[in-house]
Chain A
Amino acid sequence: MLRYIIKRIFIAFLTLLVIATLTFFLMKLIPGSPFTNPKIKLEIRMALERQYGLDRPILEQYVMYLKNVLKGDFGTSMKYPGRSVTQMILDKFPHSFALGWRATVFAVSLGLFFGIIAALNHEGILDYLTMFIAIVGVAVPSIVLGPLLAYILGVNLGWFPVAVDGTEWSMVLPSVTLGLGSLATISRLMRTTTLEVLNQDYIQTAKAKGLSKTQIVFKHVIRNAIMPVITVLGPLFAALITGSIVIEGIFAVPGLGKYFVSSIYEQDYPMVMGITLFYAVLIIFSILLVDLAYGFIDPRLRVSSKGGK
C-alpha cells in the first residue's frame, strides 16, 4: 500500500516536471519576447532582459524557471506589466471554484440518484427517462447547451439570471450546463454497476434473509455499486475544470477560465503558460487524490494499473 502511494505521488511529480518542461520550451519556441517593442531603446531592452534573466543561456533560464515555479512564481503578464500571474490566479480562481464545486455536487448527486433509479426500474419508464437525459447530456455539447438554457430559462421564461451576479440563484444555469455531461457519465456508469450488483448472489441471500427492499438497496446495492464510480471522479473533476473555460464565457463568470481565453486572444504567453500549469497541477492532484482514496476504500484494488486515468 505504502509503495503504491509513493509510486503514485512520484509519477504525479514526474508528470508535472514533464508539463513544466514542455511549457518552458514551447514558450521559447514562440517568436518574440515581452520586450520586442520597437519603441523600447536597445540599451533599455538589454537592461530589462538582464533583469529578467533573458540574456542567460537557455538551460540556466530553464533551471531558474523551475525554481520559480516551485516557489509558486509563474512570472509576470506581458500585456499588463507588473501584474503577476500568481496574483491573477489567486484573484480569479475562487470564482471558477465556486462554479466547479456546485457543478460537481449537482453532477454526482443527481447522477448517482438517476443511475440507481434507472437500475431499480430496469426497462421501466423511469429507466428510459433517465437514460434519455443521459444520452442528451452526452450528445449536446456545453457550447450548445449553455446558450440554449440561457435563452429558454433565462431570457424567455425569466426564471434565472443569465449572467452570474454573485447570488446563488444566478449560479444555477452555469452549474447545470457544466455538470450535465458528467451527470450523464455518472448515471450511465451507476446504472450499469447497480444492475451488475443486483444480479449478485449476496443480494439473493439478503432477500432470502427477509431484509426489506430499502435495507437491501442502501446497505448492499449502493455500497457495492458506487465503487467503480469513484474511479471516474478524478477525470470528471478535470473535465469540469477545463469545461468551465467555455461556461464562464457564456454566463459572464469573472473566473479564471474566461480570463484564460482572453489571455489566449491577447497572446499573453506567460499568463497562458502560468494558468496552463496551474490547471495541470489542479487536475493531476485531484486525480491522484481520488486514486489514493480509492486505494483506501477498496482493499481489493490496492495495487492495480486500472487505478490511473
Chain B
Amino acid sequence: MNANLNIDPQKFTLVGKNLEAAQRINRPSMSYFQDAMRRLKKNKVAIASFWVLIFLIVMSLIGPVISYHVNGHTYRDQELVNKNQTPIMSNARSITMTANDVFEYAKYKPNFRKTSIKFTGVELVGTGEIAFKVGSESEEGWQGDKKEYIVSVTVEEGDSWDTIIQKLNARAEEILASDPDFRGVKFEKSGNTLKITSIGKTWFNTRYWFGTDELGRDMFTRLWEGGRISFLIAFVSVFVTVIFGVIYGGISGYIGGRLDDILMRIIEILMTVPDLIYTILLLQVMKPGIMPIIVVLIATGWMGMARLVRGEVMRLKNSEYVIASKALGADSKRLIFRHLIPNAMGPIIVNMTMMIPRMIFAEAFLSFIGLGVQPPYASWGVLANEGAKIFRQYPHELLFPAIAISLTMLAFNLLGDGLRDALDPRLRK
C-alpha cells in the first residue's frame, strides 16, 4: 500500500444528475403497427404479393373503363359473329380429309385447330382419289370469309409417294395462283409420316385483347368486370363478418360467465354444420345474385371470426396492463376501445387476409354449380365455369379467369403468411 498517495479532493467536482439525458430516447419511438410494417417490408414475398393484389384490384377498377374507351366493349355486349375469338389469331385454314382410296394409316392426329394434320404409319394400298377440304369453317375463330376449297388429285398405277406429294403440292399451288385467298397448303412426307399444313399468318387480336367468349363478348372486359364482382363480394362479406365477429366475440369474451357459455355453445353447433350445406339451402330460398351470396358467405364465415375475437379478448382481459388500467379507474368503454380492440387487431387482420381468398373461392364454387352470380353478370367463378365447358376447343376462355383466381388466392395467402409473421413475431416459424 502506498501511504504516500495523496489525492486532493479539490480536483473533483460533482457533476450531478443529468435528468434530461437519462430521459432521452435514442431511437424514434415506434408504435406496434409501425414496427409490424417494418418487419413486413423485409418480407419480399409478402410485398410482391401485395403489389400483385394492388395490380389486380386496380385493373378490375379501370380495366372495363379502358376497354370501353379504346374498343367500345362492355361486359354484356354480344357479337355472335365474333364468338370464340382467340387472343392470338391466325388465318390459316382448317383441313379435313374427304376422300382417300390410296393409303392406309395407323394414326391420325390433327393439331389443335385442325390447321395441320398428321398421319403416321402410312402405307400405299391402291389407286384412286385423294381429296382434302380446306377452310370449310374458320376453326380459329377468325371470321374472314367462308370460302371452301377442295385439293383433289387422282393417283394412278405406278405412282410413288414422291409423285403423289408432288401432285398434291402442284394442285395446291394451282389453286393459290387462281385465288390468293387460299393462302396455300403444304404436303410433306418424311419416313412413314404424312404431314399437311395450311399456311397463314398470325397476329394479335387488337380488337378483343383476350379474345371473346361463346357469345362474342369481350373477355378482357368480362375478366375485369368479373374481378370487380369477385372482389366486391369478398371485401364486403369479410368486412361485415369482421364487424359481426368482433361484436359477438367481444361481448362473449368480455362479459364471460353464463352468457359466454350460451353464445359459444350456439357457435359450436353452427360450426359443426357443414358450410356448403346451408349455403346451398339458403340460396335455394333466396334468388341467386350478388346480395344473397354476400349474405350466405357472412352467415357461414362469422363463427370463426367471433371465436378468434373471443379468445383474444379473454387473453387480453386478464393481462397485466388491462388490470392496471382497471385499477387506475378506466371504465369499460376505455378498456374496450383503448386496450382490447387495438391489441386484438393483429390476429384479426391476419384472419381477414386469409378469409378473402376463401370468400373468392366460395363464390367461384357457388357460381360453378350454378348458384352464384347470374348472367349476364360475370364473376371469376362464372367465367371459369363457362370456360371449363369449352376448354378443350378454346382454352383461352378458361385460362384468363383461372390465372386471375389462382394469382389472387396465392397472393392473399402469401400476404397473410407475411402479415402473421410481422404482426406476431412469436408465431414465426
A12 at the interface (CB under 8 A from B): yes
Partner of A264, one of B278, B282, B370, B406: B370
Q: Are A280 and B268 in contact (CB under 8 A)?
A: no
Known: A246-B365, A261-B370. A144 touches B272 (CB 8 A): no
CB B373 to nearest CB in A, in angstroms, measures 14
Q: Which 6 A-B pairs have the closest CB atoms?
A: A139-B410, A144-B402, A139-B409, A15-B272, A147-B388, A242-B276
Of the candidate stretches B125-133, B240-248, B249-257, B390-398, the one touching chain A is B390-398
Could you give, for residues 235-249 of chain A, a 1 whenever the CB lies within 8 Å of some chain B CB and a 0 otherwise?
000100010011001
A98 interface residue per 8 A CB criterion: no
Q: How far is the CA of A135 from the CA of B429 in the complex (A)?
A: 16
Produce 1/0 per residue, B277-291, CB < 8 A to A. Answer: 110111011000000
Is B368 an interface residue, CB under 8 A from the partner? Answer: yes
Q: Beyond the given A195-B429, A280-B277, please list 16 additional residue pairs across the A-B interface where CB-CB is below 8 A.
A: A18-B270, A23-B281, A26-B281, A30-B284, A30-B285, A139-B409, A143-B381, A143-B384, A143-B388, A148-B402, A151-B395, A265-B370, A272-B284, A276-B277, A283-B277, A287-B272
Per-residue CB contact flags for chain B residues 359-371 toward chain A (1 = under 8 Å, else 0) read 0010011001111
Can you list 17 A-B contacts (CB < 8 A)?
A: A14-B269, A19-B278, A23-B281, A26-B281, A26-B282, A138-B410, A141-B361, A141-B405, A147-B388, A147-B391, A246-B369, A269-B284, A280-B273, A283-B277, A287-B272, A308-B272, A309-B271
A47, chain B: closest CB distance, angstroms: 28
Q: Residues of B at under 8 Å CB distance from A?
A: 268-274, 276-278, 280-282, 284-285, 361, 364-365, 368-371, 381, 384-385, 387-388, 391-392, 395, 398, 402, 405-407, 409-410, 413-414, 429
Q: Determine the chain B residues whose CB is within 8 A of the CB of A143 once the complex forms.
A: 364-365, 368, 381, 384-385, 388
Q: In the complex, which residues of chain B have a beta carbon less than 8 angstroms from the beta carbon of A273?
A: 281
In the complex, per-residue mask of A80-119: 1 if CB is within 8 Å of any chain B CB, else 0: 0000000000000000000000000000000000000000
Contact among A14, A155, A242 with B274 in the assembled complex (CB-CB below 8 Å)? A242
Pairwise interchain contact B369-A245, C-beta atoms closer than 8 A: yes
Q: Report the bound CA distance from A246 to B280 in whole Å.
A: 14
* A250: contacting residue among B284, B361, B381, B388, CB under 8 A: B388
Q: How far is the CA of A250 from the CA of B276 in the complex (A)?
A: 19
Of B274, B285, B384, B407, which contacts A280 at CB under 8 A?
B274
B273 touches A19 (CB 8 A): yes
Give the number of residues in A that approach B within 8 Å (Cβ atoms). 47
- Could you tell me the distance in whole angstroms from the C-beta of A123 to the nearest C-beta in chain B? 11
Interface string of A268-309 (1 = CB under 8 A from B): 010011001001100110010000000000000000000011
- Measured in the bound complex, the distance between the Cα atoms of B369 and A146 in whole Å is 14
CB distance from A190 to the nearest CB of B (A): 13
Report if A63 contacts B (CB, 8 A). no
Shortest Cβ distance from A246 into B: residue: B368
Whole-angstrom CA separation of A267 from B384 in the bound complex: 23
The distance in angstroms between the C-alpha atoms of A12 and B407, with both chains bound, is 38
In whole angstroms, how far apart are the Cα atoms of A210 and B276 in the complex? 51
Chain A, residues 25-42, CB within 8 Å of chain B (1/0): the string is 010011000000000000
Of all chain B residues, the one with the shortest Cβ separation from A280 is B277
* Shortest Cβ gap from B421 to chain A (Å): 13
Indicate if the CB atoms of A139 and B406 lie closer than 8 Å: yes
| Residues in A whose Cβ lies below 8 Å from that of B273 | 15, 18-19, 22, 280, 284
A192 at interface, CB cutoff 8 A: yes
Distance from A8 Cβ to chain B, minimum over Cβ atoms (Å): 10
Residues of A within 8 A of B285 (CB): 26, 29-30
Assembly CA distance A222 to B338 (angstroms) = 45
Distance A238 CA – B271 CA, assembled complex (angstroms): 13
Residue pair A272, B384 in contact (C-beta under 8 Å): no
